[in-house]
Structure 1
């Protein structure tokens, strides 16, 4: 009965009740039916055939003591492969049982994984197993072992490496950078470049596909040139091959790399026609002779292809109006220069290629055509300031104010300030929600952004509402004279604290009148006043302090916060530490004094290290002085640069706490002192534990004596640097 016609039960029975018992007796008697000496493949075919799938790997070894599974990898089932790996110490028994079902989802292997990989690679390198073996399920098994440090490099055969490149994207998902690192190491690992290239070998003709494949999108221009040994002629030949063109068209390759590849293609095939040039390559082909003299129909066909295929890649933030590279602008100018006349339909049809309009061409456009094309022109990325100024000058203030502003898009930077100043606060607030207008405003000069922000601020609304209207990137431009907080509530506190306030604007904003503040100074261009600390005290702060952002906490004001009770103030200080808010010397000094006043200094482990630098050191518990020093030394010691007495007192107190060790500091002493070592004598560097080098890394500068001591220490060879 043929194998295929048997049920699985009968197939398994043939093996368990006939083949295995017979082969066991033969092997016990020293007999094996092997038609070819030392051939595991021949033994498997002659004795088990397709019934071998029901054997365990241990069965095969038991039935033939000369059996070598590494010779028959392409004949083993996944379970047998897992058992083979277990025999090499890479899988435990539980993993062997689960392997066939959970194989694609397993994490890491154990023990001697590297040895298994090396054996597998050796087989491929020596040609004992065809590359076809390492496809489908068996390739999954192979890649299952690969971890970062195990990816092959120097000793892998070219066919084996092709298998890695071709199968990597579907099997090693999420590890592209890691795989590319090894590809780079492999392709640059020999003196002869390009590696694995042989002009007489047909496989070499697809070199880019075989050895970079999907990963080419991670290559830089320098990488490509390095891989090819900086052979420009070879680059031209390989880049012009059909499989290379297909690969380049399918991958999201960096723009500068595409320029290089396209230049190489055009240098190799200067007479290539527009129809022969892949659509994606059109984006990078200003040098193509075929594009320099196009008929009307061909010209517009090329323009449509460019607009369809040359959009920003997925790496590009579409909200950023990034200027095209010079060659792209050159190409657009080349094409636009072949258009004899312009009207509304022409301007709209140009799409992104309108960026190639010269100032002279723009000057010749009629006001009516520009006005009718504003929406299309506002979608063009990369206008220069001269172009937008010229285009917007074609529009009257009345046209702009009556509906054009919302669709102006990338033309916004060309607006005259008079137009924005004429906006009513209500209209400005409306535009602040118009995404197209805001995208254009991001590329506008700073003075336009400030004028627009001021128009919103002049709206007769509570400041809490104003802050919700102003786009986050414009919040730092709000004149501080407008930051008077009335009716601040829990509901709008979150919106306020999430804004990117400047230090000069911010203060301590607490809902329901807790400590609402602001002092006013100048308008517009003047330094913005410290903002939100001003208007009184409330009865509860605790649960609300955690709602404050670092940008709000950095506006800490001493006068108003001094009105908080000890529990409220303690919550505030802890939140400053949690939010990593950066305070200045005046703020830190005030905070330290208030902690002492409220008898809260013992909780220093929860406070910012910078704050501890300003402690009245008389209040430090001697029993905790080492812990205090360790934390204080993590602070920014440059804050004490103008307070030499405080710095000296801190250093003296630290040395006293450590038992006055003199100039010979232990590793533990150095760990506690941190950057305080920067102010110690040069002898400390020479006589202390070599880990003093870690402390010195924190020094902004060393004295001449300290530098000499450091050089002497390094020359002594006593450090881990040798």
Structure 2
């Protein structure tokens, strides 16, 4: 071989290959290694192959006798192994190289590449040891293996690193041996299967490295994948894995830092609880390193809140000063700790809160901190910042007005003022001479504008109001002010120029809802759709300008939901069929876009207009319209897609008499092949919102997914709630067994806790319930949840047995107590009365009244308020009563001062509940008795449906001008006489619009219940397309005298709705008064119970003057049977609708 090697350069490649092949054959002889006599096996092979090549790893392994693998491999030095692995293409099979390292005893040394293992003599020079290190590193860089080989070696040696269990050894593996290899880690190598048996120290080191040193760019995994492994590793045991207080290596209380490190941002509350049990967690809570780790805004809020909750459960006196950064933001820090601070520490904490918690609101914390301040200066407000809203009214009133004025820039930036606080500040500065008479002065108030009285806004000139309206921040703040203040502000702007085009141009987009509908009647060509489309509108407003779309060139797809809600059969009269179809299409559900809110008459109108041209692509239509499709409109093959689209429908939009829920459910069962009593997950998914109409048994027998669907329901019946609770208590839902329930369970239920009964609440501790309510109650109030629902919720939460005692045992109610969003939870009625002192009530009246919904508690407030103001409750306090006012007696009301428009407005807020007629009348009458007060447009808008509590003589004082400038009033509950008065006024108010029947009708339709038959008959000739709701609201005496032709002319495109509502009492009355032959002319299939006349009529009725379209047929005159006469004469038309008259003796036809 030596001879051949000397002539190697002269040989052809084929010859060289043949020489190499023959060397292999020789070495693989039946007597293996017959020439090997010891020493380095690598050198042995080198001496054989010389310049003719060298085996790759796979061939190299094949030359090792299986029983001598370990022996021969360990004859190779680390330097030789490095030379071997540095050959080009040395590795062809990844698994072969692992055979080397699994048998090689010097793997750690090879990986360390220390100088003593290299073919280089290292000497220490006079420059010291550092030179030795420099020389060795340079050799290391020359002898190290290439990256592609490192990548293949790593899986072979990785288990050795993970199994090391001495800290020094672990450090060597990660810091030295694998330092240049770890960047080749893969998702597989860090998977739980690979690391599950790692030593604690090795896993700790791995977590640290992956969090601080690893570069994820280019790797096949990310930080979430690493956290998933951490979760599996730490969750494999019931207690904190790798923590041992008796082991010096494992007794560190910085457990979260050691084993989760920077990956803590991915932790969930379930993970936290799973990693460390409740009996063990206290060991780690106080640890400074852990506290710093959790001082990270990227960590889920519920996790940090739970950490803080547990911290103060175990260490109630843990100092606030020791809490780092954002942990101070947690709402679970006991407010008593803030309240116990001295003034210096209060300022220090306020400074930290500003830096770390500026975006979080915590009224309880603000109140506690503010309670520590004795003297309030301008600097105090600067220090408090947003926490200024924690000041009591007494504190605010103690501040000199000049200090308040000088601090307006700070005070006006606070977003959490109560109405009472802002009002007190405004009254204080006004009393000192501060004038609110310009755009600049109004803007300077910032968020305090919510406390500005309406009379102050009214005193601003129109030009200044218009100037103020151009300030976006001022408008934003104005939106938080009481509605009456917004309305007066808009009135001022309108007074600059009341032409519709200018009104729309001048009034800010967000305040456009305050424009009276009568001012939105545009003359031809003056409506700017681009401007209109940017504004917020009510449906009544949109209806007024919607017809102008017929003459405009616009893209219907770009119309806002506020504009589209003006669609009615009357407002689209002049539009082409293609444009009508486009408008209906534009009302479909669209992702990222608010729903177009349409009422039932609008939906049936849409359906009537396109019913003959419906496609099977049901998502092209407004989802609520799909409720009214007949079964023949849906092809059998497409029924599933129909019900899927119908699942987005608000089923509450349909009148109860139509029974749409059960009807559609029967159709869905047939379509989906539901034959049994249970609903599968797929069934529930398809049904969507239809589940809101299901009965108890259907809900109980459904897949648990139904709970998620019930969250979207606007209301739930008692039987539906019982079914929901049955499902929850079964433990078969995603919320688990009852004994596993916690605050997360309640939060996961979304809105459903609003309906829960004691059956569920008793399974939660008072502490858990209170913590949940702190977040839940503000959300319910923000959504303006009905007061009756809040009352029911509180009654289910309240203790069933009141604690008896000599005095207050639950703790005196203070400003801090009241600031708790869960207040008054925890106080039964007796304790509420005993613990609430009159001075505290006076100081916190607004906050208390906003939170107390129970009738009994509200009576306590009113009684104490009468004690506080024995000579009468002032206007400003009456304005703060909110829903508490609805529990007042007539005697209470008689003690109230109601002289200001703001007081009347505060008392008439519909969200605070309905008034009894006597109460409402007493309030309005008391207001009208005050000097200068009358039923102007502002008062009318405020009073709205409560107008029906007033005498007709009072209603007659309303002027046509006042009515003209109101929004549409709800007078449905008024008596016939009241409606007649209001109709007469509105008829005069809007007579100027009679030249446009659609506009006139849209302005007066709410008052048509008081219109005489002649006026209704006149409307029947004007092509207005009256909706069925308005038809049913007409005076019953008018309805019974309308002919088939009258009704056909009135309803126009809405005529089909008579068939839809044929079971409605009013519709039945009218139908049963008509002859069948007349009804047949409508082609609706309506059936009358009236028999054809068999006796000649004494006289023939004639149409009222001017009616040329009516039928000449009128009901026959028939004597009323004696058994009916007394009953019928004693009934008014309200009783007719509700009475169940004996049909055999008292036919409606006979009655009429």
TM tier, smaller: 0.5 to 0.7
Residue pair 1:347, 1:377 contacting (<8 A) in 2 also: yes
Q: Which of the numbers 459, 462, 475 marks the counterpart of 1:422? A: 459
CA distance 1:181–1:583, change in 2 (3 Å): farther
Q: Which of the numbers 542, 559, 569 marks the counterpart of 2:580? A: 569
CA–CA distance in structure 2, aligned partners of residues 706 and 355 of structure 1:
49
Say whether residues 1:21 and 2:90 are aligned partners: no
Give 1:533's aligned residue.
546
Residue pair 1:324, 1:382 contacting (<8 A) in 2 also: no
Give 1:100's aligned residue.
none
Say whether residues 1:677 and 2:668 are aligned partners: yes
CA distance 1:678–1:198, change in 2 (3 Å): same
Q: 1:78 offset after TM fit, Å?
A: 4.6
CA distance 1:554–1:379, change in 2 (3 Å): closer
Residue pair 1:362, 1:391 contacting (<8 A) in 2 also: yes
Give 1:302's aligned residue.
348
Q: 1:703 offset after TM fit, Å?
A: 7.2
Give 1:506's aligned residue.
542
Say whether residues 1:595 and 2:610 are aligned partners: yes
CA–CA distance in structure 2, aligned partners of residues 221 and 28 of structure 1:
52
CA distance 1:570–1:586, change in 2 (3 Å): same
Question: Which has more radius of gyration?
Answer: 2
Secondary structure at the residue paired with 2:676?
helix
1:308-323 to 2 correspondences below 5 Å: 308-312=354-358, 316=359, 323=361
Give 2:558's aligned residue.
547
Q: 1:370 offset after TM fit, Å?
A: 1.2
Say whether residues 1:244 and 2:290 are aligned partners: yes
CA–CA distance in structure 2, aligned partners of residues 41 and 487 of structure 1:
100
Q: Which of the numbers 367, 370, 377 marks the counterpart of 1:329? A: 367
Q: 1:376 offset after TM fit, Å?
A: 1.9
Q: 1:123 offset after TM fit, Å?
A: 5.9
Q: Which of the numbers 103, 115, 126 marks the counterpart of 2:163? A: 126
Say whether residues 1:405 and 2:477 are aligned partners: no
Residue pair 2:238, 2:275 contacting (<8 A) in 1 also: no
Residue pair 2:82, 2:145 contacting (<8 A) in 1 also: no
Give 1:376's aligned residue.
410
Give 1:666's aligned residue.
none
Residue pair 1:533, 1:555 contacting (<8 A) in 2 also: yes
CA distance 1:126–1:387, change in 2 (3 Å): same
Give 1:512's aligned residue.
none
Provide the aligned length of Structure 1 versus Structure 2.
Answer: 590
CA–CA distance in structure 2, aligned partners of residues 122 and 307 of structure 1:
48
Q: 1:371 offset after TM fit, Å?
A: 0.9
Give 1:556's aligned residue.
567
Give 2:1006's aligned residue.
none
CA–CA distance in structure 2, aligned partners of residues 39 and 504 of structure 1:
95
Q: Deviations over 1:49-78 (max 9, x none)?
A: 378456546258698682359997978755
CA–CA distance in structure 2, aligned partners of residues 444 and 407 of structure 1:
15
Q: Deviations over 1:441-491 (max 9, x none)?
A: 45544544444444445442665665566555544454434433467789x
Q: 1:229 offset after TM fit, Å?
A: 1.5
Q: 1:122 offset after TM fit, Å?
A: 5.9
Aligned CA-pair RMSD: 5.7
Residue pair 1:332, 1:353 contacting (<8 A) in 2 also: yes
> Relative contact order (C-alpha < 8 Å, sep 6+): which is higher?
2
Q: Which moved more, 1:634-643 or 1:681-690?
A: 681-690
CA distance 1:43–1:479, change in 2 (3 Å): farther
Q: 1:372 offset after TM fit, Å?
A: 1.1
Give 1:49's aligned residue.
82
1:463-542 to 2 correspondences below 5 Å: 463=500, 473-485=510-522, 493-507=529-543, 518=544, 532-535=545-548, 537-538=550-551
CA distance 1:212–1:40, change in 2 (3 Å): farther
CA distance 1:487–1:457, change in 2 (3 Å): farther
CA distance 1:706–1:418, change in 2 (3 Å): closer
CA distance 1:589–1:190, change in 2 (3 Å): same
Give 1:198's aligned residue.
244
CA distance 1:212–1:474, change in 2 (3 Å): farther
CA–CA distance in structure 2, aligned partners of residues 300 and 687 of structure 1:
60
Secondary structure at the residue paired with 1:264?
helix
Say whether residues 1:163 and 2:206 are aligned partners: yes
Q: Which moved more, 1:212-221 or 1:582-591?
A: 212-221
CA distance 1:610–1:243, change in 2 (3 Å): closer
Residue pair 2:257, 2:293 contacting (<8 A) in 1 also: yes
Residue pair 1:388, 1:411 contacting (<8 A) in 2 also: yes
CA–CA distance in structure 2, aligned partners of residues 187 and 258 of structure 1:
21
Give 1:661's aligned residue.
none
CA–CA distance in structure 1, aligned partners of residues 346 and 695 of structure 2:
70
Structure 2 unmatched runs, 5+: 1-45, 112-143, 704-732, 734-1152
Residue pair 1:40, 1:69 contacting (<8 A) in 2 also: no
Secondary structure at the residue paired with 1:205?
coil
Residue pair 2:678, 2:698 contacting (<8 A) in 1 also: no
Residue pair 2:469, 2:507 contacting (<8 A) in 1 also: yes
CA–CA distance in structure 1, aligned partners of residues 339 and 682 of structure 2:
67
CA–CA distance in structure 2, aligned partners of residues 134 and 550 of structure 1:
66
TM-score with structure 1 length normalisation?
Answer: 0.63
Give 2:636's aligned residue.
626
CA–CA distance in structure 1, aligned partners of residues 390 and 470 of structure 2:
30
Structure 1 unmatched runs, 5+: 1-13, 86-115, 317-321, 508-517, 519-531, 652-672, 712-720
Give 2:989's aligned residue.
none
Q: Which of the numbers 85, 97, 100 marks the counterpart of 1:67? A: 100
Give 1:668's aligned residue.
none
CA–CA distance in structure 1, aligned partners of residues 681 and 324 of structure 2:
63
Q: Which moved more, 1:403-412 or 1:702-711?
A: 702-711
CA–CA distance in structure 1, aligned partners of residues 531 and 74 of structure 2:
72
Residue pair 1:286, 1:328 contacting (<8 A) in 2 also: no
Say whether residues 1:229 and 2:277 are aligned partners: yes
Give 2:980's aligned residue.
none
